Amino acid sequence: MPGERMEFSDMKYSSETNLTNGQKNKQGCYVSTPMGFLMLLLALAIAVGVGIIVHFAGNGRSVVCQCGSADVVPSDPQKLMAACKKQVMDGETGVCAVCKDVTTSPTAEPTTPPKVTDVRIPTDLEPILYTIELQPNMYEGDVKQFTFDGYVRIKMKCVRPTKQVTLQIKALNLTESTLKFEAISGQEPVISKTEYDHEREFVIFHLSEMLVKDRMYSIEMRYVARLKNQLQGLYLSEYKRNNQTVYLAATQLQPTDARAVFPCFDEPAIKAKFDVTLVRKPEKISLSNMPILRNETRSNGFVADIFETSPKMSTYLLAFIVCDFEYKEQVTKRGVMYKAWSTPAAVEQTSYALDVGVKILTYYEDYFNISFPLPKQDMIAIPDFSAGAMENWGLIIYRETAMLYSPRVSSEGNKQRVAVVVSHELAHQWFGDLVTPSWWDDLWLNEGFASFVEYMGVNHVHPEWKMFEQFVVEDLQSVFNFDALVTSHPVYVPVNHPDEINEIFDRISYAKGASIIRMMRFFLGEDTFRKGITKYLKRKEYDAAFHDDLWQALTEQATEDGKSINVKDVMDTWTLQMNYPTIRVTRANANTLKISQSRFLKDPTATDPGKFISTFGYKWDVPFTYTTSSIKNFNQTDADVTWLKKTQTNRMVQSANLPAMGDTNGWIIGNVMQYGFYRVNYDDQNWKALIRQLKTNHAVIHPINRAQIINDAFNLATSGDLSLEIALKTLEYTDKEKDYVPRVAFNREVDQLALMLRKTPMYGAFEAFIKDKIMGIFNEVTMNNTGATHLESYIRSIVASMACDYGVTQCIDESKRLFRQWMQNPNHNPINPGLKSTVYCAAIEHGGVAEWDFAFDQYNKAHVAAEKSRLLSSLSCSTETWIISRYLEWALTPSKIRKQDGLSVVGYISNKPIGQALAWDFFRNRWDDIRRDYGGSFFAFTSLVGRLTKTFNTDFQLSELQHFMDTHPNQGSGTRAFQQAVEKTRVNIKWMKQNSNVIKTWLSSLGL
């Protein structure tokens, strides 16, 4: 599941359920200890009330007798019960009115309690078949509280004798009078006691008799829960159709929210089959993982859609949707019915995703030599979704920007994003769905593989996009920065608490996972890699896997192909320890290279927290490749790999083709095409030879390695392993650079320099340098995007963006002219889609409230999700403090900005010079709201912390950050992000102290 590239409340680990046994509950209505006896006296009355609830649930109505806030305490439990009963009798739906009358008082930030770690469910019982029925109750009137009614029956096999049935549960109000336990044969125990462990999210049913090994049993129950717009579990979404609000229900169950929809064994390795029934109003439709088998009309007029039995699968991959959407369809060559769903107004925008999806699904079937195992594949774009997309088996759910594409409105970037996300999610149908990691510590087996294989799928459909070149800047170089910190983590990382699970939905699991898989594919060779992957998938299909299962399959295949590689020995060094090496390359003599490795850290003096101890001493098995100015071989294979093993302190590489030491123009490049997950450093003589080659004829060096030279040089300068002066000189040739990948590398390093220099006296001279490097190319590509190819459009977009950002007058004036033209005729937008982001931002930055209000009005009117997203980002470009302050408030106001986009807006603002301080203050002031509503939102929450603090480079800013962390210790799933922010700030402070004079001298040498 990619987040937002892919962008993905607070996952409180106590259930929201106000359960009928009267136990204290942190998130429902709860009572103090002195009230306990009173609650016991009320137990019978509450049970009667629940019975009434069940009665009315059968008529499509239900009530949840709980309050919504963790710090709300009802002053009179009898009043609560009476209000609930009256509300049911009045036929209303929602939360009891008494909750609205209870006042709250501000509380101090609580001390963070120790997190439970033993959250794994007992495995004495194995689920065989779930029978699930769900009825979302959505009323298109004025009622603002919604519920859903549920029923589950679990058929189970006893694996070890036990007297307990333990299920995972969250935010569900069980109707205990409906509890039923049965033995399929033999003696029939009864439930003697029900116990709730809120901290672990368990419900434990104690039985009267010991269950017998290998016998079959079943447990069933009914329940009711809130249907909220929290973007987790089964949740409420809405959109406008003909100016009327239309509601829909959708799911996001990964990683631990299936338990918030039905009591279950909610762990990835505990697979079972599922019989699903969704109950809906006749005007709606329903979707789940499997095709509909039949429909039934209920006595209350509702329709029950009964779905075919699923294959054996994990709970987090289930999906349930009730909506009024429409679809387009195709059939693959192997007969899979493929449908693309959206709101009726957007259904024409599904054509591209559908076409790409059909082609890529077929390609994967051929590549893996495994047919797609389900009879249908649905994809659906919904208005509110926390992630970019979710790989539910047979029913992939997308954020609208990740699936919808309109040729006249969407840019080439939007088009590529749709293709990439579709490819990523389809890869999951094999990696994650067919074969699932046995626990979340191997999340990278899902996300790393999907993040690499997505490039294969898109490359199959669009080879002209050069996706494997783009990989280097999109994934490898981007995650290098993340993994250069002592606050990083290994690819394989022990996790227990859901906060910890959510933390690892990060760039390490996705981008580093993808990068080391790409490296492995290279050193094994494509044919061995492909056959080994097929062996792994077929061996573990419909089952759960550990990473050693993959290593075994690949090693066996390598042996069969005559290659002596122990994949586990190699890959353990890349998955079981964090960070990565720098390979130092020097000439020992005219015909010999000396290579050695060391751990790369942005700050080598940083204190290692010791949380993840390397058993390899931060040494890796490194597949080393190189070329030289006399060889110039950038098309290398696994046969060209020289291994530097973790047990070697250095390695002498013999070659008769190395340039003579006396050749002052000779150069060496290590890590050809940057297949390896490592940086390369050289002596100054070689760096200077590379810089001379770039200035003389940069095209001699492959674009990937040109990007590598820039990226490695600046990061080695940050760590102190290379002088910043040499790194700066790698930029001096870039006025001639027209290839996309090295231009992205150039832009990133320049932008980082700008962030550090923005508040210093040197910024004016630095800006003049960038203008000099961009003007020639800007004048050549211009702002006319007509007839451009995909990558030409990309080049034009990034060149224009940089030109406007750094004050090129022609860019700013043209942007203002185009935007005024649009304002004069709002029904005709004259701006090319590939340049919209640049034009919108420049016009708003250099305009006033009229431009801002016009853009916000266009955001509200836009019918293409990509256009709405573009406008949201551009609205952050205003330089009016009051406008940005208003925009920040609107970011957390769902009536203004959809909840899924709230943190993105704060992040956009934090990227702007005037917005950074405002966003940081806003974040601190609204911390409680943000943590509650977005704490479990995967990428969105953690990436915001990084965005807010990425410009911090002073001791004062570090003290502010540290003070906030000290006074707000409960950081939930953002804990690691805050730790990384501190480390990055220290790196920036050190960089500023060491390099300010170097930059000043360099700029002076250029006459600036």
Encoded amino acid at 898, one letter: R
Cβ neighbour number for residue 171 with a 10 Å cutoff: 26
Instruction: Return d(Cα 760, Cα 219) in angstroms, integer.
Output: 68
Residue 195: enclosing H or E segment and its boundaries? Answer: strand 191-197
Q: Where are the alpha helices (DSSP H) in 541-667?
A: 547-560, 567-575
Contact 331, 377 (CB under 8 A): no
Nearest-5° angle of CA 723, CA 728, CA 733?
140
In order of 271, 382, 414, 992, the CA distances from 953 in angstroms are 49, 40, 34, 7
Which of 285, 305, 268 shows the shortest CA–CA distance to 132? Answer: 305
Nearest-5° angle of CA 10, CA 12, CA 16?
110
907-945 as b/e: b if 16+ CB within 10 A: bbbbbbebbbebbbebbbebbeebbbbbbbbbbbbbbbb
Q: Is the CA virtual torsion 771, 776, 779, 782 positive or negative?
A: negative
Instruction: Return d(Cα 556, Cα 645) in angstroms, integer.
Output: 21
By three-state DSSP, how is residue 668 classified?
A: strand
The residues that bridge with 241 in the sheet, in sequence order, are 244
Which of 538, 577, 575, 533 shows the shortest CA–CA distance to 556? Answer: 533
Q: How many residues does the chain have?
A: 1008
Active-site residue flag, 391: no
Q: Is 616 exposed, middle or buried (0-12, 13-18, 19+ CB in 10 A)?
A: middle
Catalytic residue from among 133, 176, 267, 425: 425
Instruction: Return d(Cα 331, Cα 765) in angstroms, integer.
Output: 59
Instruction: Return d(Cα 931, Cα 922) in angstroms, integer.
Output: 13
The alpha carbon of residue 991 and the mean position of all alpha carbons in its chain are separated, in whole angstroms, by 30
Return the DSSP state at 185.
S
Encoded amino acid at 947, one letter: R
Which of 375, 426, 368 shows the shortest CA–CA distance to 398? Answer: 426
Q: Output phi, psi for 914, to 5 deg.
A: -80, -25
Contacts of 249 (CB under 8 A, 6+ apart): 136, 138, 148, 227, 234, 235, 236, 237, 320, 321, 322, 323
Q: Which residues are catalytic?
A: 425
